A and B are shown apart, each in its own frame.
Chain A
């Protein structure tokens, strides 16, 4: 079964607003990654946070990781219509060949 659970399942906001998506996982991880998927560009890596990091920024993206709660959040600031997509968290296990386990995803719609 999928390891990650994401919340909310769907999110609808206006351009310029911030969007926050949450992810939970079940077992220990080496790192947690966020991916975006839309029909135009397929599945694209956005940002990676290691298990010993608590927060990471990349442009308009901010990711937090709380290993004690086995949870992560993705914040997109000043959203744009082009941010409309499905967002997935994916956890990577602790072994060298640890597989990437995806959550169910959050569908984000940004209205112009």
Chain B
């Protein structure tokens, strides 16, 4: 089966600019996650969707980050305006309802550099 797709793979912007990332999860997976991974650290969950509803966004900096999953399939994560400290890899992952407590499948990530 096709894996989790993300685009773009790389993005370079200047601080205060806006950026958006796109994710298409594995077909049929109800749960979608966005993680931020800063260099040298493990991934940190930003937001978790179950279908098109938000389950957990406690670590999402809501003053500048937003995410949506309108039709319960693909999702976009937006940063506006970007700060230097947002430089990181943004990972999207998905999981089936049956595997809600089980493994997650990760996309290749988008590497963001904020100058």
Instruction: Give residues in A with beta carbon < 8 Å to B.
Output: 2, 4, 30-31, 33, 35, 42-45, 48, 88, 90, 92, 96-105
Task: Flag whether B104 is at the interface (Cβ < 8 A).
Answer: yes
Tell me the complex Cα distance, A31–B103, Å: 10
Measured between beta carbons, the chain A residues less than 8 angstroms from B104 are 45, 100
Write out, one digit per residue, whether chain B residues 96-115 have a CB within 8 A of any chain A CB (1) or not (0): 00001111111111000000
CA distance A35 to B43 in the complex (A): 11
Q: How many residues of B sit at the interface, in one of the four size bands?
A: 20 to 34
Q: Which among B41, B48, B55, B103 is the interface contact of A105 at CB below 8 angstroms? A: B41
The answer to whether A97 and B50 touch (CB under 8 A), given A30-B101, A45-B104, is: yes
Ordered by A's residue number, 11 sampled pairs between the chains whose C-beta atoms are within 8 Å are: A2-B42, A42-B107, A44-B106, A45-B103, A97-B55, A98-B101, A99-B45, A100-B104, A104-B40, A104-B41, A105-B42
Name the CB-closest residue of B to A89.
Answer: B42
- CB pair B106–A42 under 8 Å, yes or no, is yes
* Chain B residues positioned under 8 Å from A101 (CB to CB): 45
**B23, CB-defined interface residue at 8 Å:** no
Q: Looking at the complex, which one of A4, A33, A88 makes contact with B103 (CB distance below 8 Å)?
A: A33
Do the beta carbons of B48 and A99 come within 8 Å of each other? yes
Cβ-neighbour of B56 out of A35, A42, A45, A99 (below 8 A): A99
Q: Which of B41, B45, B50, B107 contacts A100 (CB 8 A)?
A: B45
The tally of CB-CB contacts under 8 A between chains A and B is 54
Structural contact, B100 and A96, CB atoms closer than 8 A: yes
Contact: A2 with B41, CB < 8 Å?
yes
> Chain A residues with Cβ under 8 A from B102's Cβ?
31, 48
- CA distance in complex: A96, B97 (Å): 10
Min Cβ gap A91→B in Å is: 11
B44 within 8 A of A: yes
Q: Which residue of B lies closest to A35 (CB)?
A: B106
User: Are the CB atoms of A48 and B103 closer together than 8 Å?
Assistant: yes
* Chain B: CB-nearest residue to A98: B101
Q: Are B105 and A97 in contact (CB under 8 A)?
A: no
Chain A minimum-CB-distance residue to B58: A99
Q: Does B82 contact A (CB under 8 A)?
A: no
Encode B43-57 as 1/0 by CB contact (under 8 A) with A.
Answer: 111001010000110
